[in-house]
Amino acid sequence: MDGRSARKRQAIMDAARELFLANGYQGTSMDEIAALAEVSKQTVYKNFADKRQLFAEIVLRAASRADEFVRALPQVLADAPDLEAGLRTLARRYLAAVMQPELLQLRRLVISEAGRFPDLARDYYELVPDHVMTTLAVQFGELSEKGLLEADDAVAVAGHYAFLVLGLPLDRAMFLGAEHGLTPGAMNKHADAAVGVFLAAYRPL
């Protein structure tokens, strides 16, 4: 693909992401996407077979942003002076990543469209929340082998960590949107308290 085609493709994806997040799948037309991207409708269809395919690409590309957090995860724990500090830093970063406004909107959109796009919702679940938990489970398993955690069922332990940290803020944000009322300070406090509960259960005596 030459530079001009690549730029047009990118402009289409940017326009589509903006419109899908603002107006939903049903509320967005290929005409509007072409207009916002400043390309012809023919160009849109040359790049994407139909609205479904474009939607799937937008969701999966945005989902891949979770990879960054997943890749950084082992190092966050390795760099910390001790386990508690590592789990706290991780919890704060995890929460901050998930509570990004655009990611919240995307999450709401995927949940909204899960009836129409069950495979896409499943892919998203596997690529984002499940991928993070699987990565956590590997780390917790290693910590358990080193005797730093008592985590026999590392997958279940990862789920406890994830939802102690994220559960409440994410639920608020799904219903209340940007008006969820949690300041960065409140989120950090929440993350620290979550780690406290987690360690009370899983730190070896």
Closest by CA position to 69, among listed 39, 103, 118, 38: 103
Give the number of residues in contact with a copy of itself, rule: CB under 8 A.
Answer: 41
φ/ψ region of 41 (left if φ > 0, alpha if ψ in -120 to 50, else beta) reads: alpha
Specify the stretch interacting with a copy of itself by CB under 8 A; choose among 6-14, 21-29, 50-58, 68-76: 21-29
Specify the stretch interacting with a copy of itself by CB under 8 A; choose among 3-11, 28-36, 85-93, 158-166: 158-166
Is 133:162 a contact under the CB 8 Å cutoff? yes
| Residue with smaller CB distance to a copy of itself, 167 or 184 | 167
Half-sphere CA count of 123, side-chain side, radius 13 A? 15
* Residue 175 binds to a copy of itself (criterion: CB under 8 A): yes
Closest by CA position to 116, among listed 25, 6, 17: 25
* Residue 177 binds to a copy of itself (criterion: CB under 8 A): yes
Query: Is 136 in a helix, a strand, or coil?
Result: helix
Q: How far is the CB of 202 from a copy of itself (least distance, A)?
A: 8
Q: How far is the CB of 183 from a copy of itself (least distance, A)?
A: 15
Cα separation, 155 vs 31, in Å, equals 45
Interface residue list for a copy of itself (CB under 8 A): 24, 26-27, 108, 110-112, 114-115, 118, 121-122, 124-125, 129, 156, 159-160, 162-164, 166-168, 170-172, 174-177, 179, 190, 193-194, 196-198, 200-202
